[in-house]
Amino acid sequence: MDLKEFKEKFADVAEEFAMEIRLAVTKEKDKEFDKERETFNSQLGDMSKRLDESDERIAKFEKSETIRTENELRVEADKIWDVALAKSELRESLYPKVRKHVSYSKFVNENVLDVEKFAETVAGEISDWEGRTKSEDVVLGTGTGGRSALGADGADDDKEKLANKERTSSLLALAGHKEDK
């Protein structure tokens, strides 16, 4: 008797037998699938955790790189300022005030400083300040060594000397100093 004859003679038993076999196979396959799913979920969790850690590390590296790049740009701009100010005729006390008027950040494109335009602008700003301020170390003004109008002719000089001497004597007497005559 083969399977075809068995199905014809015992159709209801064959159907029931097939159903039990299907259920047993399905249960077995469900168990295997559940184990594989747990393994994959565990691997997915580990990968997700490593991906999050990698994202954090990448963010830290990007931050460090951005800070380093910004510092390099600032140092490069400071060098340009230092050279230009050293060549100028401005007083050193004006340097910080002049620097405030031209920011290097306006000349940065894609993390690259346009050195030529920045240097031109810095030179223009310095020349503007030089035109408006004088950095000469000479004191401007006049002084006279002449006499006052009262004593210009010399006649009143003797009277003035005598009056000064009398005032000095009276002040010394008030202070308790004895005058030698």
CB 89 within 8 A of CB 130: yes
Any domain includes 125: yes
pLDDT at 140: 59
- Provide, rounded to the nearest whole percent, the portion of the chain with pLDDT above 90: 50
Structural domains counted in the chain: 1
pLDDT for residue 75 is more than 90 = yes
pLDDT for residue 64 is more than 70 = yes
Q: Cα(33)–Cα(145) distance, rounded to whole angstroms?
A: 113
Any domain includes 181: no
Q: Cα(164)–Cα(172) distance, rounded to whole angstroms?
A: 12
Strand pairing partners for 6? none
Any domain includes 145: no
Give per-residue pLDDT as tens, 156-174.
778 888 999 999 988 888 8
- Provide, rounded to the nearest whole percent, the portion of the chain with pLDDT above 70: 86
How many other C-beta atoms can be found within 10 angstroms of the C-beta atom of residue 6?
A: 13
pLDDT for residue 5 is more than 70 = yes
Which has the higher per-residue pLDDT, 69 or 138? 69
pLDDT interval class at 148 (50, 70, 90): low
Range of the domain at 27: 3-132
Any domain includes 26: yes
Give per-residue pLDDT as tens, 95-104.
999 999 999 9
Any domain includes 170: no
CB 81 within 8 A of CB 122: yes
Helices (H), 88-105: 95-99
Out of 33-37, 91-95, 109-113, 130-134, which region has the weakest mean confidence (pLDDT)? 130-134
pLDDT at 146: 57
CA 178 to chain centre: 74
Any domain includes 67: yes
Any domain includes 158: no
Any domain includes 165: no
